[in-house]
Amino acid sequence: MASALNCWIICSAMLLLQSGGLFSEKLRTLKVSDWWGKAGFYQIYPRSFKDSNGDGVGDLNGITEKLPYLKSIGVKAFWLSPIYKSPMADFGYDISDFRDIQPEYGTMTDFDRMVTRAKALGLKIILDFVPNHSSDEHEWFLKSENRTAGYEDYYVWHDGIPGNNPLQNDPPNNWVENFRGSAWRWSAKRKQYYLHQFHYKQPDLNYRNEKVVNEMKDVLRFWLGKGVDGFRVDAVPWLFEVADFRNEPVSNLTSNPLSPEYLVHIYTQDLPETVDMVYQWREVMDDYKTKNGGDTRLLMTEAWSNLSVVANYFQDSNKKQGSHMPFNFQLILRLNQMSKAADFKTVIDSWLDIVPGGHTPNWVLGNHDRRRVASRMGGEHMVDLMAMVELTMPGVSVTYQGEELGMTDANLSWEQTKDPAACQTSEAEYTKYTRDPSRTPFHWGNSSLAGFTNGTKTWLPVAANYQTVNVQAEQTASKSHLKVFQELMKLRDSSDFYENQYGTVVLGTNVLAIVRVDCKGVYVTLLNIANATETINAEEAITRLNITKTYEKSRVLVASVSSKRSIGDTLQLHEVVLQPYEGLVLRSGATLLFARVLYILATITIQRLFS
Ligand code: NOJ
């Protein structure tokens, strides 16, 4: 009896799944009008992109030299991790002059040259804007620490609370910095604590001081005046913290009070004032355009917050506008090598569900803070499939340098480790915290040091697999991740791929279908995320999305490296055999009624003639 009941439950669940009952299978619509709406963005980590002067550190002239490469892979815009003057305690995210260039990266003249060259190539430039903190070597901090008139409250200062030490109070509360340990540091000079949500060399600016707010808006205007097209805004959630410095509640996720996971950050992250500041920066962008003309100046924001919070960064309930593009980190946060096709669908749809009407989705696959896609997803075989998700879902794509090649995390020893997030820990556990493995030099070729530098050293070691995973090798190979990436980018550029309806469907256990439909036909992306051959009926994906048209046989537009098919091969949608980890993008034209009637009549006539 029990087993019959079990069988009934399992069968019903399977039927529900098959009919799409457990998943929401619906067509969504995307209409894109602005320049960035379906653009591919590319993140450059300047230290590791291209070294032009042989010192082992990437620089602006190196980037300028390689702009044609960006053009060749089809991106429309690139964002640069910080290039400003910095003591490099957090590799540029600790800024000592928001308006100057870090000397090892070049000069302002080099910057201007890069901008001119990028514009000539039709590439837009996005800079990293780091508003939450400066370096402790910034002039503002030095003045604030000295209590220089006008600068006393540029940072968040606190006396602390009396404890056992007669010479120095205890920290004001239990807050922990994002890298580990107390978020408060004692200044012997000022005899007060200052707040640092990141490294102690990154003191938090005080956004409750109107002067700071205005200074930072001026920083935005300064770079807009230099011709940049927008900003990626760093560490947004931390801008404000509660004014009464209450303790944060304990999370029970870890017993280690030094760990950022130890607390629930309800008093230090994503406060309403923080969201409002993003709206104010949006006004700066929009005003600049109104006064100076040109294309939309873009705001892209970094918040690894809950989706319900991320939604607020787009707009408020009165449709006051904020970030054009709150980054979608869901593919990074929630997918891994254990994920099934259903997980892919859930993760994709949960993001789409929070994007407000009239806004554009975006897809971020990696960055300089996270493990590389190939390493995260269990191997090189997932590289093309993840690129197909990123590049065939509608909206904006954001690609971290090297992901188009399938670069992997490098293995770095404790001695080779430079990242402060890891250096603050110990040899026993640094691998859990280090971000260096995804920051190693870019692989341009198979000459020594991967063609990254003409010098004899690099600031971080080059990853061991550079001789096979590099631009030169992948450009000459008959099949490569780079070529798949380029094909996908070309497809995004075609006018058909612009405005249309789309939806996702799970076929069987292991295949995700992404369907995009326009008046002329349908695009179907099929991703077999299993290490086994799968036979599926892709027509089912179309009917389950309630698309009533019928489609002719399909043509392969893009095939993963793992596929035995070639571009232009044809196949029937009702029976597609997918190899392990095969990914395909297919195009089928809608069957024209007239042509179909003619075809049926001709078939009947021929049958009669020969019967
Ligand atoms: C986010 C950046 O991506 C990361 O690299 C940096 O350490 C923190 N923000 C602090 O600025």
Nearest-atom index, ligand 1, CA of 132: 11
Residues sharing a CB contact under 8 Å with residue 21, sequence separation 6 or more, in sequence order: 15
Q: How far is the CA of 57 from the centre of ligand 1 (A)?
A: 19
Q: What share of the chain is helix, strand, coil (3-state, %, to 5)?
A: 35, 20, 50
Q: Is the pLDDT of residue 51 over 60?
A: yes
Residue 354 to residues 212, 237, 311, 543, Cα–Cα distance (Å): 32, 18, 6, 25
Token digits of residue 9: 């439950």
d(CA 536, CA 573): 9
The residue that leads in pLDDT, 303 or 607, is 303
Q: Compute the mean pLDDT over every residue in the chain, rounded to the nearest whole number.
A: 93
- Per-residue confidence band for 596, with pLDDT thresholds at 50, 70 and 90: low
Cβ–Cβ < 8 Å for 284, 217? yes
The residue that leads in pLDDT, 40 or 605, is 40
pLDDT reported for residue 380 = 96
Cβ–Cβ < 8 Å for 521, 549? no
- Per-residue confidence band for 552, with pLDDT thresholds at 50, 70 and 90: confident
Q: How far is the CA of 438 from the centre of ligand 1 (A)?
A: 14
**What angle (nearest 5°) sits at the alpha carbon of residue 218, between those of residues 154 and 91?**
70
Comparing 2-30+500-598 with 35-130+328-483, is the CATH topology the same?
no
d(CA 134, CA 606): 80
- Per-residue confidence band for 6, with pLDDT thresholds at 50, 70 and 90: very low
pLDDT reported for residue 9 = 42
Q: Which of 465, 441, 438, 303 is nearest to 376 (CA)?
A: 438
Q: Is the pLDDT of residue 4 over 50?
A: no
Backbone angles phi, psi at 48, to 5 degrees: -120, 15
d(CA 466, CA 469): 5
Q: What is the DSSP string of 480-527?
A: -HHHHHHHHHHHHHSGGGSSEEEEEEEETTTEEEEEEE-SSEEEEEEE
Tokens 């009896």: give the residue. Answer: 1
Token digits of residue 468: 């096979």
**What angle (nearest 5°) sits at the alpha carbon of residue 128, between those of residues 125 and 133?**
160
SS3 506: strand
pLDDT in tens, 136-149: 999 999 999 999 99
Q: How far is the CA of 129 from the centre of ligand 1 (A)?
A: 11
d(CA 450, CA 218): 40
Q: Which of 385, 511, 540, 527 is nearest to 25 (CA)?
A: 540
pLDDT in tens, 332-383: 999 999 999 999 999 999 999 999 999 999 999 999 999 999 999 999 999 9
- The protein residue whose alpha carbon is closest to atom 9 in ligand 1 is 235
The residue that leads in pLDDT, 352 or 592, is 352
pLDDT reported for residue 499 = 67
pLDDT reported for residue 595 = 56
Amino acid residing at 491: L
Q: How far is the CA of 90 from the centre of ligand 1 (A)?
A: 8
Nearest-atom index, ligand 1, CA of 302: 1
Nearest-atom index, ligand 1, CA of 90: 7
Q: How far is CA 273 from the centre of its chain?
A: 25
Residues sharing a CB contact under 8 Å with residue 252, sequence separation 6 or more, in sequence order: none
> What's the CATH code, domain 2-30+500-598?
2.60.40.1180
Q: Which of 156, 186, 181 is nearest to 170 (CA)?
A: 186
Is the CB of 90 inside a 6 Å radius of any atom of ligand 1? yes
d(CA 41, CA 229): 12
- The protein residue whose alpha carbon is closest to atom 5 in ligand 1 is 369
Q: Is the pLDDT of residue 593 over 60?
A: no
Is the CB of 369 inside a 6 Å radius of any atom of ligand 1? yes
pLDDT reported for residue 610 = 66
Is the CB of 93 inside a 6 Å radius of any atom of ligand 1? yes
Q: Is the pLDDT of residue 76 over 50?
A: yes
Q: Is the pLDDT of residue 89 over 60?
A: yes
Average pLDDT over residues 301-309: 97
Is the CB of 270 inside a 6 Å radius of any atom of ligand 1? no
Q: Which of 431, 424, 501, 346 is nearest to 176 (CA)?
A: 424
Nearest-atom index, ligand 1, CA of 198: 10
**What angle (nearest 5°) sits at the alpha carbon of residue 26, between those of residues 362 and 365?**
25
Average pLDDT over residues 297-326: 97
Tokens 């890298």: give the residue. Answer: 179
Average pLDDT over residues 267-271: 98
> What's the CATH code, domain 35-130+328-483?
3.20.20.80
d(CA 67, CA 48): 15
Average pLDDT over residues 556-574: 97
Q: Is the pLDDT of residue 12 over 70?
A: no
Cα within 13 Å of Cα(379), Cβ side:
7
pLDDT reported for residue 33 = 81
Which uninterrupted H or E stretch holds 65? helix 60-65
Is the CB of 373 inside a 6 Å radius of any atom of ligand 1? no
**Please, which residues bridge with residue 127 across strands?**
80, 231
pLDDT in tens, 216-249: 999 999 999 999 999 999 999 999 999 999 999 9
Is the CB of 234 inside a 6 Å radius of any atom of ligand 1? yes
d(CA 401, CA 442): 7
Catalytic residues: 234, 302
Is the CB of 198 inside a 6 Å radius of any atom of ligand 1? yes
Q: What percentage of the chain has pLDDT greater than the value 90?
A: 87
Per-residue DSSP letter, 151? T
Is the CB of 235 inside a 6 Å radius of any atom of ligand 1? yes
Residues sharing a CB contact under 8 Å with residue 288, sequence separation 6 or more, in sequence order: 221, 224, 297
Residue 561 to residues 71, 138, 578, 585, Cα–Cα distance (Å): 23, 49, 13, 13
Cβ–Cβ < 8 Å for 228, 127? yes
Q: Which of 31-45, 133-147, 294-308 has the lowest mean pLDDT?
A: 31-45
Q: How would you classify the pairing of strands 521-528 and 570-571?
A: unpaired
SS3 309: helix
**What angle (nearest 5°) sits at the alpha carbon of residue 366, between those of residues 361 and 371?**
150
pLDDT in tens, 459-507: 999 999 999 999 999 999 999 999 999 999 999 988 767 667 999 999 9
Nearest-atom index, ligand 1, CA of 130: 11
**Please, which residues bridge with residue 567 across strands?**
none
The residue that leads in pLDDT, 9 or 47, is 47
The beta strand positions in 173-227, using DSSP E, are: 184-187, 192-195
- The protein residue whose alpha carbon is closest to atom 3 in ligand 1 is 369
Q: How far is the CA of 284 from the centre of ligand 1 (A)?
A: 23
SS3 161: strand
Q: How far is the CA of 61 from the centre of ligand 1 (A)?
A: 24
- Per-residue confidence band for 590, with pLDDT thresholds at 50, 70 and 90: confident
Q: Is the pLDDT of residue 3 over 70?
A: no
Residues sharing a CB contact under 8 Å with residue 339, sequence separation 6 or more, in sequence order: 347, 529
Backbone angles phi, psi at 158, to 5 degrees: -155, 145
> Listing from the earlier edge strand, what are the strands of the sheet with 192-195?
157-158, 192-195, 184-187
DSSP count for the chain of H helices, then E strands: 18, 22
- The protein residue whose alpha carbon is closest to atom 11 in ligand 1 is 93
d(CA 476, CA 549): 41
Q: For residue 455, is it left (φ>0), alpha (ψ between -120 and 50) or beta?
A: beta
Q: For residue 253, is it left (φ>0), alpha (ψ between -120 and 50) or beta?
A: alpha
Nearest-atom index, ligand 1, CA of 93: 11
Q: What percentage of the chain has pLDDT greater than the value 70?
A: 93
Which of 44, 90, 200 has most ligand 1 atoms within 8 Å of CB, for mutation? Answer: 90
pLDDT reported for residue 2 = 39
pLDDT reported for residue 498 = 67
- Sign for the CA dihedral angle at 438, 442, 443, 448 comes to negative
Q: Where are the domains of the chain?
A: 2-30+500-598, 35-130+328-483
d(CA 199, CA 178): 8
pLDDT reported for residue 520 = 85
Q: How far is the CA of 395 from the centre of ligand 1 (A)?
A: 25
d(CA 75, CA 79): 11
Taking the CA atoms of the chain, what radius of gyration do you get in angstroms? Answer: 27
Count Cβ atoms within 10 A of the Cβ of residue 601 and give its class: 0-12 exposed, 13-18 middle, 19 or more buried. exposed
pLDDT in tens, 507-547: 998 999 999 998 888 999 999 999 999 999 999 999 999 99
d(CA 35, CA 124): 10
Q: How far is the CA of 491 from the centre of ligand 1 (A)?
A: 33
pLDDT reported for residue 118 = 98
